[in-house]
Amino acid sequence: MFNEKDIITRILNKDFQAFELLVRQYERLVFFVINRLVHDHQDKEDLCQEVFIKIHKNLYKFEFKSKLSTWIARIAYLTAINHLKLNKQEWLSEYPDNIDQYYFTNENPEHTLIKKDTVHYVNELIQEMPLQYRTVLTLYHLNEFSCLEIEEITGIPEGTVKSYLFRARKLLKEKIEKDLKKKEI
């Protein structure tokens, strides 16, 4: 059983085994966030390492006001955002003037649509979506955070989180529907 308070106390007392346990517990969470937000494959492991180094350095600041997972996800989210800003990879284009007008234009992943592999196909589609949609989908579905927790992590108001979530899922459903129908023809 992973006891947050006990683990944190041990880490603050320089117990490195306890820190390894913490990394094992949250490495998937951190990876999911980094993986969805950052496209560059080479940077992903380094960024995950950077997140855990920041966690170790700042753990004494954690005041148990939120869940540890929320705090860790926020660090992962901000690290990914900073990386995108620094590399200017997609940061500017990720904030289109009217995100509600977004629609899929790239038809490339179509060939990967095999009914058995919807998961893979959906993941490819998500990678094409704007940053905000990718963020809320990942935090809500993969990391199972509530909309309120997503607000804590990203700073996006809860109402906007719900709206992004709804719109992102609707877009994905319409795309799947269109592609499946095309495939049937």
- Residues near other proteins (CB under 8 A): 14, 16-17, 19-20, 23-24, 27-28, 31-32, 35, 44-45, 48-49, 52-53, 56, 118-119, 121-123, 137, 141-142, 166, 169-170, 172-173, 176-177, 180
Nearer to other proteins, 87 or 118 (CB): 118
Q: Are 121 and 30 in contact (CB under 8 A)?
A: no
End-to-end CA distance of the chain: 52
Q: Output the smallest distance, CB 59 to other proteins, in A.
A: 11
Nearer to other proteins, 47 or 156 (CB): 47
Gyration radius of the chain's alpha carbons: 18
Nearer to other proteins, 131 or 165 (CB): 165
Nearer to other proteins, 27 or 95 (CB): 27
Residue 36 structure tokens: 């969805």
Q: Output the smallest distance, CB 92 to other proteins, in A.
A: 27
Phi/psi of residue 64, each to 5°?
60, 25
Which H/E stretch holds residue 70? Answer: helix 68-87
Q: Output the smallest distance, CB 152 to other proteins, in A.
A: 20
Residue 134: count of CB within 10 angstroms of its CB: 20
Nearer to other proteins, 45 or 93 (CB): 45
Q: Output the smallest distance, CB 174 to other proteins, in A.
A: 8
Distances (CA, A) of 35 to 6, 41, 60, 67: 29, 8, 27, 22
Q: Output the smallest distance, CB 22 to other proteins, in A.
A: 8
Q: Output the smallest distance, CB 97 to other proteins, in A.
A: 21
Of the candidates 22, 25, 1, 26, the residue with the CA atom closest to the CA atom of residue 12: 22
Nearer to other proteins, 74 or 141 (CB): 141
User: How far apart are the C-alpha atoms of 58 and 56, rounded to whole Å?
Assistant: 6
